[in-house]
Structure 1
Amino acid sequence: MSSKIIIILGIVFCVIAFCDSSKLVKVVLNKNHNGKKHHRPASNSSVDLPPCQPGLNPGNKMAPCVNMTVQQGLNGTVLNTTETEGLKIVECDKKARTIANISRIEVSGCSKYPCLFKRGDSPKIKVLFTPSQRVNQMSLNIGGIIQGKKVPFPYNDNNHCVSTVQELKTKSSTKCILNKNTTYTYEFSMPILSSYPAISLYVNYNVKQGEKNLFCFLLPVKIV
């Protein structure tokens, strides 16, 4: 009987010692180097955090959550144009000299090549360009490259500056005057005629100043 009492007293003593030590550990952990206590916010406290979704491994509770925007990008959702890097710039001809340098190309409804152009639509072409010399005239020359042969498109424009350079449109300017080493935004809605056949091709997009190439690039396109 006495041995049972000794065992019970031993168990009680261990429980008391464990509780005291756990309290001591909590006190130490809640103190910083200055002796102040850190208070962990309650689980239902209001904290301003970005929207969060389960990560790539939702079954793993230790995996960090993913921001909503990042998760959409991982799932293949097209992000806003302000968050993307634009399309890859494909030069018309590496040997051909151009007056301007292109820093960005965007096409409405297109996030990767080939761009799908629906007949009857007018996708918007947006280009950020920086001329290396003063520009006072712009003309548009577009052609399609089909099986190595260039086919001209029927909507070339010899007066293509004031209506397409956004900085000039904002000022309601009637003259084409672009300064060198200044970045401009070019926008043009290119009509895809209903009479076009459903075909894959390269669009040779060339904006010129007189006989010189201002900028020129290729767009891999599929007309549907």
Structure 2
Amino acid sequence: CVVRMKIIIFLTAVFVLAECAVVFKDCGSKVGKITGIAVSGCSDSPCNLVKGKNYTVNVTFTTMEATDSAYAYVYGILDGVSVPFPLPQPDGCMSNLKCPLKSNQTYVYSATLPVLSLYPDVKLVVKWELQDAKSGGNDLFCFETPISVTG
């Protein structure tokens, strides 16, 4: 029974590590610090996102300020041009975060994104921001990561 439990713990750890292999660059987190990023089904960098599937992004971060709001903004950057990507639910407090957020607390922000079949096959950089206000707020976190969209 103890051996079986150790095997289960080991396999769980391997699965979690496979989900946490996202390479990212902090792009200006002003009032927070990213401690980890995981994307479902991604074990390599760049993440290979297959058209027609949904992917869940989990960002673990610590905020240095209290705030009543959290809004997400996502952009695709291709050849230096930034194009906004509409999220199904940009309000982080309406997704999984329990607002108000407290200072010096760690949270996990989650968002599930559809990769539509109509998207072209492309390699690009995704920029993801979670801000403390609906427009022009401070970044609770900001990261960039390379992805590849394929059919």
Q: Identity over aligned residues, as a percent? A: 29
User: Aligned ranges for residues 6-21 of structure 1 at < 5 Å?
Assistant: none
> CA–CA distance in 1 between the matches of 2:14 and 2:26?
25
> CA–CA distance in 1 between the matches of 2:85 and 2:3?
48
Change over 3 Å in CA distance of 1:97–1:187 after alignment to 2: closer
Assess if the C-alpha contact under 8 Å between 1:140 and 1:156 holds in 2. Answer: no
Query: Over residues 172-220 of structure 1, what are the superposed CA-to-partner deviations in whole Å (9 max), with x where a residue is unaligned?
Result: xxxx211111111111101212211000000111111122111011121
Deviation at 1:79, TM superposition (A): 2.0
Stretches of 4+ aligned residues off by more than 4 angstroms:
48-51, 82-86
> CA–CA distance in 2 between the matches of 1:129 and 1:192?
25
> CA–CA distance in 1 between the matches of 2:29 and 2:63?
12
Query: Over residues 14-64 of structure 1, what are the superposed CA-to-partner deviations in whole Å (9 max), with x where a residue is unaligned?
Result: xxxxxxxxxxxxxxxxxxxxxxxxxxxxxxxxxx8858xxxxxxxxxxxxx
Structure 2: tracts of 5 or more residues without a match: none
Assess if the C-alpha contact under 8 Å between 2:75 and 2:84 holds in 1. Answer: yes
SS at match of 2:92: coil
Which one has the largest radius of gyration? 1
TM norm structure 2 = 0.81
> CA–CA distance in 1 between the matches of 2:2 and 2:90?
53
Q: 2:106 pairs with 174, 183, 199, which one?
A: 183
TM norm structure 1 = 0.56
Assess if the C-alpha contact under 8 Å between 1:87 and 1:105 holds in 2. Answer: yes
Does 2:46 align with 1:114? yes
Change over 3 Å in CA distance of 1:205–1:156 after alignment to 2: farther
Q: 1:129 pairs with 58, 61, 75, which one?
A: 61
- Number of corresponding residues: 143
| Structure with the higher helix share, 1 or 2 | 1
> CA–CA distance in 1 between the matches of 2:83 and 2:18?
35
| Structure with the higher strand share, 1 or 2 | 2
C-alpha RMSD of the superposition: 2.7
Structure 1: tracts of 5 or more residues without a match: 1-47, 52-66, 73-77, 169-175
Q: Name the residue aligned to 2:26.
A: 91
Does 2:28 align with 1:102? no
Assess if the C-alpha contact under 8 Å between 1:143 and 1:150 holds in 2. Answer: yes
Q: 1:140 pairs with 72, 85, 96, which one?
A: 72
Assess if the C-alpha contact under 8 Å between 1:142 and 1:204 holds in 2. Answer: yes
Deviation at 1:159, TM superposition (A): 2.4
> CA–CA distance in 2 between the matches of 1:83 and 1:123?
14
Assess if the C-alpha contact under 8 Å between 1:141 and 1:156 holds in 2. Answer: no
Report the AA paired with residue 61 of structure 2: F
